[in-house]
């Protein structure tokens, strides 16, 4: 198992200078609202590709009360072949800021990719408690994150897909007559879109299987099944072979409306993810908030099991404010993730007493006193 041994924050969010050592298993940050608990979790999430779990602008990561215009985060990452020293900071590129990562002193693609392959950050944020009644885009992002956890190239495909949609909008708006150009880009969109569809369908099949195995082994009494709900897939009756032609036809036919709206009317960016309790035969969106949280925790547990046993990737789990809606059921599930699986977890909450159900091996950190 790989894990973060410590962290050092310089001029980052509300922290000027902060050094923390981590436990390889369970770490709890507690303290008042606004003390920076979530910021610490976010700083860990920045070691992964992207802009961290808040998806905030790089500019907002810099301590806004300081006069400096840089932040920097360091960590020693434990790996059996020797510690890896990583740092994340901002770099000015023309007028915008971008995030840079240095792995063992190198910024080469190879060393970054090696580092990325060693772990996968899974996060639970308060807004995910209501995942199944929030917007389809929240559910799509949740699913895409899970796929990215086990397939690091997936994010690039999704981004390429989005870029091509934007490019098509530009052509539709400015060069409507360039039919050849348009045909080409639409073909590219359809090809990428189909890869995304397939990745999602494959992943959903795998996670459903993992959830089923979990139910058989642990009897959490939730028989959860996830499904992809998509206009195009529904039309093709989930037959991905007829998908290509139908997709090309539909995207061509929607040129006029897409010209006005920007974007594209069909494709994986319009899918929704539907969850069912196949035991009780009801849609998860009819569950209570606490029960919906159970489902998300179950998915996280299934995801960890898959990552550890099949992909040999170390999950690192960030649980922001996980202690709300924690009845006996959810507590047992959470304990199972923290104790039984050999993973590094980070938890936040306003009070230490909320975590009394954890064993004494936990590392507690009072953020008010930093």
Q: Which residues of the shown chain bind a second copy in the complex (CB under 8 A)?
A: 31-38, 60, 64, 126-127, 129-130, 134-135, 256-257, 260-261, 282, 286-291, 293-294, 320-321, 323-330, 350-351
Distance CA 96, CA 107 (A): 20
For residues 9 and 73, is the Cβ–Cβ distance under 8 A? yes
**Paired tokens of 72:** 């920097």
For residue 291, the minimal CB distance to a second copy (Å) is 5
Output the CA torsion 232→234→237→243 (10° steps). Answer: 10
Distance CA 104, CA 175 (A): 47
State the Cα–Cα distance between residues 44 and 338, nearest whole angstrom.
18
Whichever of 98 and 368 has its CB closer to a second copy, that residue is: 368
- 105 contacts: CB under 8 Å, gap ≥ 6: 85
> Minimum distance from CB of 327 to a second copy (Å)?
4
In the numeric block, which tokens belong to residue 199? 């990745």
Instruction: Show the tokens assigned to 190.
Output: 């359809």
289-313 in b/e burial notation, b at 16+ Cβ within 10 A?
Answer: eebbbbbbbbbbbbbbbbbbeeeeb
Rounded Cα distance between 167 and 255, Å, is 13
Closest approach of a second copy to the CB of residue 23, in Å: 24
Closest approach of Cβ 56 to a second copy, in Å? 9
Return the number of the residue (108 or 289) whose C-beta is nearest a second copy: 289
């Amino acid at each position: 198992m790989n894990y973060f041994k410590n962290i050092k924050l310089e001029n980052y969010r509300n922290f000027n200078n902060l050094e923390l050592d981590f436990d390889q298993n369970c770490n709890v940050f507690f303290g008042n609202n606004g003390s920076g608990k979530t910021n610490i979790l976010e700083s860990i999430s920045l070691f992964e590709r992207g802009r961290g779990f808040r998806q905030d602008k790089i500019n907002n990561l810099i301590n806004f009360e300081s006069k400096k215009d840089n932040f920097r985060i360091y960590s020693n990452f434990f790996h059996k072949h020797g510690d890896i020293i990583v740092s994340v900071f901002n770099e000015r590129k023309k007028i915008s800021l971008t995030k840079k990562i240095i792995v063992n002193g190198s910024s080469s693609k190879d060393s970054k990719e090696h580092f990325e392959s060693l772990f996968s950050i899974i996060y639970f944020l308060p807004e995910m408690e209501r995942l199944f009644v929030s917007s389809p885009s929240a559910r799509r992002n949740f699913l895409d994150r899970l796929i990215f956890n086990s397939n690091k190239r997936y994010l690039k495909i999704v981004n390429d897909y989005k870029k091509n949609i934007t490019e098509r909008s530009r052509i539709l708006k400015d060069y409507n007559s360039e039919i050849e150009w348009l045909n080409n880009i639409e073909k590219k969109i359809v090809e990428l879109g189909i890869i995304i569809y397939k990745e999602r369908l494959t992943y959903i099949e795998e996670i459903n299987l993992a959830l089923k195995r979990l139910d058989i082994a642990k009897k959490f009494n939730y028989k959860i099944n996830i499904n992809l709900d998509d206009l195009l897939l529904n039309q093709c009756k989930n037959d991905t072979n007829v998908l290509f032609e139908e997709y090309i036809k539909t995207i061509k036919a929607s040129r006029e409306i897409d010209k006005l709206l920007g974007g594209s009317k069909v494709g994986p960016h319009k899918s929704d993810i539907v969850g069912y309790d196949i035991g009780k035969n009801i849609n998860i969106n009819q569950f209570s908030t606490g029960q919906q949280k159970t489902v998300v925790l179950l998915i996280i547990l299934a995801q960890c099991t898959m990552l550890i046993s099949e992909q040999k990737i170390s999950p690192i789990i960030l649980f922001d404010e996980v202690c709300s809606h924690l009845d006996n059921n959810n507590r047992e599930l959470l304990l199972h993730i923290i104790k039984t699986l050999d993973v590094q977890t980070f938890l936040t909450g306003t009070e230490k007493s909320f975590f009394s159900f954890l064993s004494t091996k936990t590392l507690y950190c009072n953020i008010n006193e930093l």
